[in-house]
């Protein structure tokens, strides 16, 4: 469920509401950002920027236009992409050695039950390689259907349905 009352209070610049929303969504946003900037330190900077925007621009969210989580996603992805394009970022990270969110799965030998990597493993294990790519581009990186179709070289008309069946395979086992 969407925390409608908290959102209303956030729009009224209520700090307590902000704090609760931060607690609810900061890990999700951090995951999204980190998947794009691929550097924890930089991701931390961007996370702070994102929440400052959430506070300052809470006026611009309207339930008529979509989900609050979607609104957060867009702010986060845009901020992360802006960062990636910045000169400071390019200087710090010349090249990256991973492509999608499955990179964050740590080596099996290092895992303990508490690690984040363990949490991710259970997702990735359920997904075919093409599904990992689809969800990575659409959900984490915010590609449009057209961009995904071109990047993965699959027909435009099948992006929507393929993505649904990929996500369903997660929902059936975990949801």
Partner 1 sequence: MNTKDYIESGLLELYVYGVLSPKEQAKVAQDVAKDPELQAEVESIETILLELSKATSPGVKPSLKESVVTKLRSKSFQHKPKVKIMTSNYSYFGWAAAILLLGGILWLLKLNQDLQNDIEVVNSQLETKEVQITKASQKAETLEELLLQMGDPSTRKLTLPGNKLNAPNSSVIAFYTDEKEELILDISRLPEAPEGMVYQVWSLKFEPLTPKSIGLLAEANSTENRVFRFKNVPESEGFGITLEPAGGSEQPNLKQLYALGTI
Of the two residues 86 and 98, which places its CB atom closer to partner 1 in the complex? 98
**Least distance from partner 1 to the Cβ atom of residue 85, Å:** 19
Of the two residues 89 and 136, which places its CB atom closer to partner 1 in the complex? 136
CB 106 within 8 A of CB 112: no
What distance in Å separates the CA atoms of residue 39 and residue 28, rounded to the nearest whole number?
16
CB atoms within 10 A of CB 109: 5
**Least distance from partner 1 to the Cβ atom of residue 79, Å:** 13
Of the two residues 96 and 144, which places its CB atom closer to partner 1 in the complex? 144
Closest to 28 (Cα-Cα) out of 62, 51, 3: 51
Closest to 137 (Cα-Cα) out of 122, 127, 149, 128: 149
**Least distance from partner 1 to the Cβ atom of residue 175, Å:** 5
Residues near partner 1 (CB under 8 A) are 1-2, 13, 15, 18-19, 22-23, 26-32, 34-35, 40, 43-44, 47-48, 51-52, 55-56, 63-67, 69-71, 73-74, 101, 104, 116, 119-120, 122-123, 135, 138-140, 142-145, 160-164, 167, 170-171, 174-175
What distance in Å separates the CA atoms of residue 126 and residue 148, rounded to the nearest whole number?
21
Give phi and psi for 144, each to the nearest 5: -80, 165
Closest to 127 (Cα-Cα) out of 83, 171, 160: 171
Of the two residues 139 and 152, which places its CB atom closer to partner 1 in the complex? 139
Of the two residues 83 and 162, which places its CB atom closer to partner 1 in the complex? 162
**Least distance from partner 1 to the Cβ atom of residue 119, Å:** 4
**Least distance from partner 1 to the Cβ atom of residue 17, Å:** 12
Tell which phi-psi region holds residue 13, choosing left (phi > 0), alpha (psi between -120 and 50) or beta.
left
């Amino acid at each position: 469920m969407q925390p409608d009352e908290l959102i209303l209070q956030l729009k009224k610049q209520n700090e307590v509401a902000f704090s609760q929303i931060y607690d609810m969504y900061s890990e999700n946003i951090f995951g999204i950002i980190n998947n794009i900037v691929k550097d924890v330190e930089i991701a931390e900077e961007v996370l702070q920027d994102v929440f400052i925007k959430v506070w300052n621009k809470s006026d611009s969210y309207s339930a008529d236009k979509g989900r609050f989580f979607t609104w957060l996603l867009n702010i986060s992805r845009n901020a992360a992409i802006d960062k990636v394009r910045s000169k400071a970022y390019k200087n710090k990270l010349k090249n990256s050695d991973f492509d999608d969110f499955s990179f964050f799965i740590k080596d099996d030998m290092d895992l303990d039950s508490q690690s984040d990597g363990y949490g991710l493993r259970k997702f990735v294990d359920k997904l075919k390689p093409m599904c990992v790519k689809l969800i990575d581009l659409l959900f984490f990186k915010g590609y449009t259907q057209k961009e995904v179709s071109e990047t993965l070289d699959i027909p435009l008309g099948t992006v929507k349905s393929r993505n649904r069946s990929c996500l369903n395979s997660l929902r059936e086992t975990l949801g």
